[in-house]
C-alpha cells in the first residue's frame, strides 16, 4: 500500500489556514469605495407612460383585476411585471396584457374582459353573465368570442371596441 499523505497533512490540523491555502483570508483593511450619489426615485406625480398610451395606474388597475378575478396568480403578475421592466430597459415596450397573451397566461377573451372591467366599461357581473351565455352557446356548438357577445347584447358598440383596440395597439 501507498501512503498518500503529504508532510503538510501531518503538521496541519483541519481548521488551520496555512500559507499554501489558496483562499487565505486577508486581515488587511479594505479600502472604502468612493461615495456615489444615491439613485433618487421620480416623484410620484410623474407617471411614466407605457407604449400605447397606457399609464402605470391603468396597468396597475389591470393587474388588480387579473388577480382579483383569479385570472392569474399574484406570482405570475409579479413575473410579468418583472419581464416588462426588463424589456423596457432595452427599449422594448410591451404592455402587461401583451405579455400575458404572449406567455399564454390569458386568452384574448380573458384579456379583453379584464381590460373592460379595469376601465369600468363593463361590470364583473356583466362579464360573468356573458361567460355563462358563451358556455351555453358553446354547448350547442355555437362559438362566439367576447367581442361579438358585447356587441350582440348592446353592451358596447363595435366603434367603442374598435377605439379600445386602436388605443391598445
Q: pTM of whole model > 0.85? A: no
pLDDT for 80 equals 92
Long-range contacts of 96-103 (CB under 8 A, 24+ apart): 96/59, 96/62, 96/63, 97/62, 97/168, 100/66, 100/72
Cell of 160: 367603442
pLDDT tens, residue by residue, 112-143: 999 899 889 999 999 999 999 999 999 999 99
Give the confidence band of 74 by pLDDT, cuts at 50, 70, 90: very high
Q: Looking at the chain, how many residues does it have?
A: 169
Give the confidence band of 53 by pLDDT, cuts at 50, 70, 90: very low
Q: Which residues on neighbouring strands pair with residue 55, listed in sequence order?
A: 49
Amino acid at each position: 500500500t501507498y501512503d498518500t499523505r503529504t508532510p503538510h497533512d501531518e503538521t496541519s490540523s483541519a481548521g488551520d489556514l496555512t500559507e499554501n491555502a489558496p483562499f487565505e483570508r486577508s486581515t488587511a483593511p479594505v479600502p472604502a469605495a468612493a461615495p456615489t450619489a444615491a439613485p433618487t426615485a421620480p416623484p410620484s406625480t410623474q407617471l411614466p407612460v407605457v407604449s400605447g398610451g397606457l399609464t402605470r395606474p391603468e396597468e396597475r388597475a389591470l393587474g388588480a383585476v387579473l388577480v382579483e378575478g383569479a385570472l392569474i396568480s399574484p406570482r405570475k403578475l409579479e413575473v410579468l411585471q418583472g419581464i416588462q421592466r426588463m424589456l423596457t430597459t432595452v427599449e422594448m415596450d410591451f404592455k402587461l396584457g401583451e405579455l400575458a397573451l404572449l406567455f399564454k397566461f390569458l386568452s384574448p377573451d380573458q384579456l379583453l374582459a379584464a381590460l373592460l372591467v379595469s376601465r369600468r366599461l363593463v361590470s364583473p357581473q356583466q362579464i360573468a353573465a356573458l361567460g355563462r351565455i358563451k358556455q351555453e352557446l358553446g354547448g350547442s356548438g355555437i362559438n362566439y368570442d367576447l367581442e361579438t357577445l358585447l356587441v350582440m347584447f348592446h353592451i358596447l358598440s363595435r366603434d367603442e371596441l374598435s377605439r379600445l383596440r386602436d388605443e391598445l395597439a
